[in-house]
Amino acid sequence: MSSIEHLLTVAQVAARLGITRRAVQQAIARNALAAQKLPTKTGAYLIEPAEVDRYDQARRHETAVS
């Protein structure tokens, strides 16, 4: 089994969190969501499921506090 098979794409993360792909990309850009950039022409990102859970909890906490 490849070590990247369990990782999620930006589209999968967006669907899982109910947000847009652009919002996921912005979270990655501001280092709020850790991701691995693939060394391809597209530069696609892959994200650990646990990181998605961590980001979602932080995002929900931030919304609740605001």
How far is Cα 18 from Cα 40, in angstroms, rounded to an integer? 27
Type and span of the H or E element at 9: strand 8-9
Q: Is residue 3 part of a domain?
A: no
Domain with 42 in it: 8-65
DSSP 2: -
pTM for the predicted model, two decimal places: 0.86
How far is Cα 47 from Cα 19, in angstroms, rounded to an integer? 15
Q: What percentage of residues in the chain have a pLDDT greater than 90?
A: 76
Bridge partner list, 32 = none
Q: Is residue 2 part of a domain?
A: no
Domains held by the chain: number = 1
With a cut of 70, say whether residue 1 has pLDDT above it.
no
**CATH number of residue 21's parent domain:** 1.10.1660.10
Predicted pLDDT at 62: 82
How far is Cα 7 from Cα 3, in angstroms, rounded to an integer? 8
Which residue do the tokens 């998605």 mark? 52
Q: Is residue 12 part of a domain?
A: yes
Q: Is residue 1 part of a domain?
A: no
